[in-house]
Structure 1
Amino acid sequence: MTESDKIRSAAGGDIRLWIDDGQSIHMKLCNPYDDPVELTEHQALALAETLRMLAHRLQAS
C-alpha cells in the first residue's frame, strides 16, 4: 500500500477515507448501528483538512 492509498480515519474511526486507484476519494461511514456520525467542531475541521489533503494528492497524481 502506497502512502496515497493509506486509509485515514476521522470522528474516532467512524469515518474512513482513502484514494482509490489514484482517481477518486472514497469515504465510508463505519457505524455498526447505521446511525448518523456526529462531529464536533474540531472533528469537522479535521475531516475537512483530511479531504483537502487527499484532494491535493489527487491533483498531483
Structure 2
Amino acid sequence: MEADREELSRRLEELKVEHRDLDDVIARLAEDGPFNQLQIQRLKKRKLLLKDQMIRLESELLPDIIA
C-alpha cells in the first residue's frame, strides 16, 4: 500500500514538472515571432490533460475527510 502511494506521488511530481515545462514552451512560442497557433493549441490541450491527471492523482493520495 505504501509503495502504491509512493508511486502515485512520484507520478504526480512528474506530471507537475511536465505541466510547468509546457508553460515555459507555450510562453516562448507566444513571444517568438511568427508562432504556430495550432502547435500552441495542442500544447495547451496537453496541459489540460495533465492537469486532469494531476487532480485525479491528488484525490487518490488525499482521502476525502467527512466533517
Q: What is the TM-score normalised by the length of structure 2?
A: 0.44
Higher Cα Rg: structure 1 or 2?
2
Higher relative contact order at CA 8 Å, sep ≥6: structure 1 or structure 2?
A: 2
Higher helix share: 2
